[in-house]
Each structure stands twice: as C-alpha cells, then as structure tokens.
Structure 1
Amino acid sequence: MLKSEIRKDYILNRYVIITPSRVNRPRDVRAENQSKRISSCVFCPSNIVTAEVTDYLLGAVKKQWSCWSVINKYPAVSTNNKSAYGYQEVIVETPQHGIDLGELSEQQMRNVLTLYQKRTKQVSKIKKIDYILIFKNSGGKAGASLMHAHSQLLAMELLPPDVAEELYLADKASRLCGRSIYRKIIDDELKQGARIIYQDDQVVAFAPYASQFHYEAWIFTRRQVDNIMEINSQEMDSMVYCLHLILSKLHSLNLNYNFFFHQVISNQKQHFYIKIQPRDSIWAGVELGSGLVINSVAPEQAAEFYRS
C-alpha cells in the first residue's frame, strides 16, 4: 500500500489519512524522546514513605515488593473537592530504576496488572465514583515526568465526553447490527487477517483499521467483560503475554507510548480493551486545525512488524 487512503473509525465520527509514502519524508528537527532524571527518585524503594502506600504485591524474593501503589501527591481531582471530585493514585511498576514495563519479565508484568485489578476493586467503592481510567505515559513525548516505571489511576464522578460518546455510539451500532459492535469488530478483523498482531483462545490484538498513531495496537478479551476485575486467570495470562510482546517490540524501536483502558462502573455493556498508542510523531497543524489525523505507518505494516 503506497497510495494515501482516508479511513473512518469503527464507531466514532473520526477520520485518519493513512499515508505510507510519507514515512521517509525529510526531517531536520528532532523531538526529545527521553524523560529527564532528577537527582533523587521519589519512586525508588529507599525513598518511599510507607504511610503513602495504598497496596502492594510481593515479588519472588520474600518480603520484597514487586510493585505498589501510592497516593498521588499532586492530584488534579480529590474526594474533598466538590468542584473537581475524584481520586488519583500512582502504581510503581518495579523497584528497579531506569527499566521500562516492556523490559520486565512476564511474571512482573502480571503482578502489575493484578495490582490494577486490586486497585480498581477498591477505588470503585469510593462514593460517587463511576469512571476509572488506568493509564501509562512512557517517555518524554508521551508525557512522562519521571523515569522510574509507573502508571496511574484516575477515578472520577464525571464521565468524560469522549468516553460517553463512544459508549453511546457503540450501543447504537450494536442495536443496528443485532449484536455487540465490539464482537463484530473482532470477528471482522480476524476474518480480514492483515491487521492481526496476536490471537489465542482468550485475547485478540490488532492494529486498528483507522489507527491514529504509528504502530497503534488494541488488545481485546474474546469474552465480553466490562472491567479488569472480571478478567480470569487464563485471560490474564494471555493478556500479559500479548502486552509484553507489544511493549517489548516498541522498546526495540525506542518508541515512547501511552496505554490506557476505560472502566465505567455503571455500564455493563462496554467491552474491556487496552489501547497502546506510540508517540513517534507529534500532531501538528493538520491534526490540531482540522481534527484529521495523518498516519504514515499503515496498520497493516504495523501488524506485520509486531508479528515478525
């Protein structure tokens, strides 16, 4: 595929121009990829304040923490602020400084996702909370402010407009086609095949048809679950293997990335999935001015890279 092609999102009224011929266009400006290290890391074990820890999982070495969660000292929302009600935490993914999530062992990554489950369960009990976002910023271009591998949890009473729009349009599309639109997307991608990254009996990963980012990837459970708390042990094993595969491939390209997943407590029709969005390119005038996104790495090429 060398010709440009305009593609529409599966559900949303959003368009992407896939332009593989632009991938090698000349550049003389480089964007900074790496976060800057500060002299004393607040997430290293020696600097952790025990009173700020909300949960943890032990590693292979007895009494040594594998990962842990702490209160966010600089929250955008809090439970004592009626004007911006919510709750925030930081999940420290490893005691080792300077190592990315994609470099961890699968067992260590499983511990991180298990901690996501535990914290989702606990935070969902907070009064008025209906929306829980778990996300990771890896690298300076993805918005990371600290090098030590960590992810974050944001819980709110407010349902963000983009999430509400997706839920509404997904429900509308599901009613029109007579089944879950996400199930249809998964089946269509499996049938088409070219954008499939990984599949087994539990999960399916693919590069979405109208990818907004270079090497964008989505991971779905085959079984419809609406939040990470419902994922069983077999599904967790497969999800960890798949996520590890994708992040380790991104690490080999030295790409910054974001990943995230939405959880709406009051909506049991949603289909849980993880979005991984590498930050190789910066949105500029076309994206900011028109809302159209130009992506020079076709999802078919991205999927082939992940499978290689």
Structure 2
Amino acid sequence: MMELRKDPIIKRWVIISSERSKRPMDFKKSHDEIETSFCPFDYGNEYSTPEEILAFREPNTTPNSPGWWVRVVPNKFPALSTKNTLKKQGLGIYDEMSGYGFHEVIIETPEHNTKFSQMPIDQIKEVIWAYIKRFKEIRKDKNIKFIQIFKNKGQEAGASLSHPHSQLIATPIIPVTIKSEIEGSKSYYDFRERCVYCDIINQELKDKQRVIFKTEEFVAIAPYASRFPYETWILPIKHSHDFGTLENHENLVKDLAKALSMITKRFDKKLDDPPYNLFIHTAPFINGLEVFYHWHIEILPRLTHAAGFEWGTGFHINHVSPEQACADLMEEKDIL
C-alpha cells in the first residue's frame, strides 16, 4: 500500500507506505532501560522530592512520608514556574513571555518495578483522579490557558526515570497543535453543524476497520491518517469538550482506567513493551468550544524515528497502515 491520507481535523497529510510490510516483530526490540542506583520517586524516599502538592494516602499519615499510593510533586527541574511573574513584551518582530506556568510530576505508584500496564484498574483510576484534581485546581489560575497532561514511557520516549510517573505542564498560551484542532473542529462544525470527532467515532464504529476495542464509554481507534505505527486514540463516545468534566462521572473515570489498562496491555503483548508517549488533548480555558471540540487521548508508540523527509516537509511516513495496526492490536473478543 502506498497512499497519502488527510487528517479530517487539522488537514495534515501523511504517507502510508506499507511496502516493507512492517509488523510488530519487525521493529527493534532493544528498548534501553533507565538504570539508576537511587530513585527519588520510590516509597520511603519522599524526602528527596519537592514537597507534595497532593497525595492519596492512608489516614493518619503525614505529608511527605510513606503511606501514599499516588503523589503529586513539583518537578524538581521545571520548564515553567509560578515563581515567575507573567510578563509579555515585544522585541521588534519577536514576542516573548516570562516562563510562568506549572510543571508537576504525578507519581503513579509506590512500586518502582511495576509497569503502568500491570497496575490494577483501581490504581489507574486513582492516577486519573489525581489528574482531575490538579486539572481543576490549576485552571483557577486566570493566567493559565491550557493544561497538558502527558506520560513518557521509556528512555526513547523522553523519560529520565523508569519509576511509573506522568507529568502536567500548564501554560499561559494555547499551543499551536491545540489551536489547529480547534480551528479544524470549528470549520467542520460551521459547515456540517456536527462535531468532527463524533463523526469520526460514528464512521469508525460503522466501518469496523480501525476500531481496536470499545468499552461502555470509550472507543480506541487507529486513526485513519496515523502518523506513527500503532498510533492509538481513545475518545469518549458521548460528546464532551472538557477533560475536567470527568470529575462528576465516577463511571467514566473507571471506564477510562479500563481502556488505558487494555491498550497498554496490548502494547506489551503485541509490541513487546514499547516506549510510548501518551497525552490528553482537552479544550483550553476559553469560552465557545463546547459544541465542536472533543477531548481525547493520543498514544504514540516510539517504534520508528523521524528523519530528513519528516523534518523537512512535516509529512510523516507510516510503514504500518492503521488497518493493519488495528488487526494486530485487536483480540478476538473485540470484534464488533
């Protein structure tokens, strides 16, 4: 197969070139582990991190001590900080702002050697609750326009420590990628009066070519214009623009935990525990996005590397069609 495919949201083109027919067994299997003699995230090493912002812990235990099962701490080496005063200025044709924002680490488990895919669904649910609580608290800051929650799993995906953790960075500007999604979603809505993400979900459920699995509340798909081999999106089936609305829906939190557990287990089994990047795309903190934007999670296994063509053109070349990726990641019980 050699095809150019266009993303219906941001109009980005990709090349699907499966001539070499790469399958899971064809990718490099040597994923370097991050070796450290001391891990600041380990149970009992609470003194070695900045003071915790949030912790789910046993009753009668004190902050920054053992007794927790999820902790949130400031990043020791932050990209942005609220210690900076937000200032904006122009330098001729250039614009700059002071480095105001939040950068936090969510320590997902006390157990150093437990992978995210091995966690009980109830533990993953607690991690999601930590995301929600920090998301809701940080958005109260009027200077913050967007919150990115993300997970880098493995050294090749950018992780500096192997202990299961994710991160949160809150910025005073809306990232270009999110702006592109908003603009594309609004353009689609203005023309069709429907959410483009909802239409994607409906078409994928009808076509049954790229649906990896469906839970009660979420669907996991290999997107039509996938940039990377085994790229996966997880979307709420019912329309919702704001990740923070999960706060009022315990059933959605539990079902999302189930979906994340399912897909990471598939990655372990089918792709030999690959490094990956996971991130939540949600509406920024501006009004008017409710009807056309749709929050979702994107997961990108790091099985290949961008090279000159990708960097030079912005085109991604994907050697595994999303249809093949879906077939590889599906299990018999998932067939719709």
TM-score under structure 2 length normalisation: 0.85
- 1:6 is matched with 4
Task: Tell me, yes or no, if structure 1 residue 73 matches structure 2 residue 76.
Answer: yes
Task: Tell me, yes or no, if structure 1 residue 64 matches structure 2 residue 83.
Answer: no
For 1:87-126, list aligned pairs within 5 A: 87-126=102-141
* Matched-pair contact (CA < 8 Å) for 2:9–2:184: yes
Q: Deviation string for 1:264-307 (max 9, x for gaps)? A: 12244221111111101111122112211111111111112222
* Residue identity opposite 2:265 in structure 1: S
* Matched-pair contact (CA < 8 Å) for 1:35–1:144: no
Task: Tell me, yes or no, if structure 1 residue 257 matches structure 2 residue 238.
Answer: no
CA RMSD, 1 decimal = 2.2
Q: 1:266 to 1:278 in 2, by over 3 A?
A: same
What's the secondary structure of 2:135's corresponding residue?
A: helix
Distance 2:128 2:32 in 1: 24
* Matched-pair contact (CA < 8 Å) for 1:32–1:141: no
1:33 CA displacement: 2.2
* Matched-pair contact (CA < 8 Å) for 2:11–2:184: no
What's the secondary structure of 1:147's corresponding residue?
A: coil
Matched-pair identity in %? 36
- 2:95 is matched with none
Distance 2:50 2:326 in 1: 44
* Residue identity opposite 1:164 in structure 2: K
TM-score under structure 1 length normalisation: 0.92
- Residue 171 of structure 1 is aligned with which of 180, 186, 206? 186
Q: 1:204 to 1:59 in 2, by over 3 A?
A: farther
- 1:18 is matched with 16
Q: Deviation string for 1:109-165 (max 9, x for gaps)? A: 111111111111111112311100000000011111111110000001111112112
Distance 2:307 2:27 in 1: 13
Structure 1 gaps of 5+ residues are: none
Distance 2:310 2:29 in 1: 17
Q: 1:217 to 1:148 in 2, by over 3 A?
A: same
For 1:154-169, list aligned pairs within 5 A: 154-169=169-184
Task: Tell me, yes or no, if structure 1 residue 54 matches structure 2 residue 57.
Answer: no
> Is the deviation greater in 232-241 or in 134-143?
232-241
* Residue identity opposite 2:309 in structure 1: V
1:31 CA displacement: 8.6
1:201 CA displacement: 3.4
* Number of residue-to-residue matches in the alignment: 303
Q: Deviation string for 1:155-210 (max 9, x for gaps)? A: 01111112112111111111111111111111111111110011233111111001
- 1:236 is matched with 253
1:8 CA displacement: 0.8
